[in-house]
Amino acid sequence: MTYTQLAISGVIFALLADYFFLRTRLITTKRFWTSYAIIINFQLLTNWWLTSRNIVMYSPDAIMGIRIASAPAEDLLFGFALVLLVLAMWERKSD
């Protein structure tokens, strides 16, 4: 399975978990998108730093080839999935 396929699978899993399994439906709230808008800036900065210095490298055969802040677009998909899933689990636990 390629990095692209794993990233897309991660997003689908996180969306399903948020909406159907955990039933927090964070993706429908303004507070989630506000939080994510803050987090994504730090993710882009960190991804840029790690990939532009070749600390983290990706095989061109495993990614789409689209880069944002020198990191593969798949990193943003994984980041979105991780943030959504963690916040949804945290929200569920606090109910």
pLDDT (mean) for 12-17: 98
Give me the domain span that covers residue 44: 3-94
| CA angle 12–17–19, rounded 5-degree value | 95
pLDDT of residue 60 exceeding 90, the answer is: no
pLDDT of residue 12: 98
How much is the pTM?
0.89
Q: What percent of the chain has pLDDT over 70?
A: 99
| C-beta of residue 25 within 8 angstroms of C-beta of residue 87 | no
| C-beta of residue 54 within 8 angstroms of C-beta of residue 29 | no
pLDDT of residue 95: 64
Per-residue pLDDT band at 61 (split at 50, 70, 90): confident
Number of domains in the chain: 1
Return contacts of 22-26, CB within 8 angstroms, 24+ apart.
22/88, 22/89, 22/91, 22/92, 23/92, 24/88, 24/91, 24/92, 26/84, 26/87, 26/88, 26/91
